[in-house]
């Protein structure tokens, strides 16, 4: 059963040392994949380069994940994205690549982590104002994050091991009876979003702490049921 604590302060995302999070492929694991990769909310970034112990991605490809563009000065080897000037830029065959840490900072990423087994940099980007509701992992779900102003309806974001696993909404039984509509909810609007793999709709006849009325929990998972059941 979920326990909502809405009065929590914003948890500061843990900063991972650059050498550990964005270093050379295969460091730290004998079973790591051979090529480094980058994902934003689980969406793979196709244009990745490694140089000087850091991971770089195409500035334009990264900006495109957010429906935006960047201005690149190839001569000066700089780029401007979201009014932020990026100076750690390499140019390869006419394409500019920026250090992933700088790009993550430009979009105010919630967390940036390194998975040595997958040889992957994972950038988690949730809407501004989103906080972790309580510091626990709910089995078969994960942590629950949301903007308190959006509750109880949501969206609520499920995160496990710093990766996005689901998005959730809560609708009261009374709202359904009254035929109430919910328009233009935030969801993954303006953010890179993986495909929804499966959905769960659960009825809570007595509600639960934080939303103590009969209601439905609507979960839309970005992972398989087998992966979901491994969350403990």
Domain match, 119 and 146 both: no
pLDDT digits (tens, 9 = 90+) for 176-219: 999 999 999 999 999 999 999 999 999 999 998 889 999 999 99
**Contact at 8 Å (CB) between 70 and 83?**
no
Lowest mean pLDDT among 99-108, 163-172, 204-213, 223-232: 204-213
**Contact at 8 Å (CB) between 132 and 156?**
no
Using the 3D structure, point to which of 108, 124, 140 is the last residue of a domain.
124
Domain match, 85 and 151 both: no
Domain match, 149 and 185 both: yes
DSSP state, 184?
S
Q: Computed from CA positions of residues 124, 64, 69, 47, in that sequence, does the dihedral angle turn out positive or negative?
A: positive
Domain match, 152 and 203 both: yes
Q: Average pLDDT of 55-64?
A: 97
Using the 3D structure, point to which of 124, 153, 169 is the last residue of a domain.
124
Domain match, 92 and 142 both: no
Q: Classify 26 as helix, strand or coil.
A: coil
User: What pLDDT is attached to residue 31?
Assistant: 54
Q: Classify 61 as helix, strand or coil.
A: helix
pTM metric for this prediction: 0.85
- CATH code of the domain in which 164 resides: 3.30.200.270
pLDDT digits (tens, 9 = 90+) for 78-106: 999 999 999 999 999 889 999 999 999 99
pLDDT digits (tens, 9 = 90+) for 18-40: 333 444 444 444 555 678 999 99
- What is the number of structural domains in the chain? 2
Q: Average pLDDT of 130-134?
A: 95
Given a cut of 60, is residue 174 above it in pLDDT?
yes
The mean pLDDT value of the chain amounts to 88
Torsion of CA 4, 108, 102, 43, to 10 degrees: 70
Residue 175 placed within a domain: yes
Domain span at residue 94? 18-124
User: What pLDDT is attached to residue 209?
Assistant: 83
How far, in Å, CA of 183 to CA of 164, rounded? 23
| Helix (H) or strand (E) run with residue 95 in it | strand 95-99
Residue 4 placed within a domain: no
Domain match, 72 and 119 both: yes
Q: Average pLDDT of 38-63?
A: 96
For residue 220, the tally of other CB atoms under 10 A from its CB is 18
Using the 3D structure, point to which of 124, 143, 168 is the last residue of a domain.
124
How far, in Å, CA of 195 to CA of 3, rounded? 28
**Contact at 8 Å (CB) between 41 and 110?**
no
How far, in Å, CA of 98 to CA of 55, rounded? 8
Counting residues of the chain whose pLDDT is more than 90, the rounded percentage is 81
């Amino acid at each position: 059963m979920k326990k909502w604590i809405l009065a929590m302060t914003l948890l500061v995302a843990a900063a991972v040392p650059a050498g550990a999070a964005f270093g050379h492929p295969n460091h730290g694991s004998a079973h790591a994949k051979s090529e480094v990769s980058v994902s934003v909310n689980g969406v793979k970034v196709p244009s990745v380069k490694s140089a000087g112990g850091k991971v770089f991605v195409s500035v334009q490809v990264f900006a495109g994940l957010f429906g935006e563009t960047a201005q690149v000065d190839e001569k000066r080897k700089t780029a401007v994205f979201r009014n932020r000037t990026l100076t750690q830029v390499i140019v390869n065959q006419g394409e500019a690549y920026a250090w992933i840490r700088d790009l993550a900072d430009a979009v105010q990423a919630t967390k940036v982590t390194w998975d040595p087994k997958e040889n992957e940099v994972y950038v988690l980007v949730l809407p501004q104002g989103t906080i972790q509701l309580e510091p626990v992992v709910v089995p078969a779900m994960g942590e629950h994050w949301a903007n308190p102003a959006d509750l109880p309806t949501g969206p609520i974001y499920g995160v496990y091991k710093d990766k996005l696993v689901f998005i959730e909404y809560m609708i009261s039984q009374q709202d359904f009876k009254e035929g109430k509509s919910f328009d233009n909810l935030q969801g993954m609007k303006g953010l890179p979003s993986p495909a929804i793999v499966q959905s769960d709709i659960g009825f809570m006849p007595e509600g639960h702490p934080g939303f103590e009325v009969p209601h439905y929990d609507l979960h839309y998972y970005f992972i398989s049921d087998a992966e979901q059941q491994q969350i403990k």
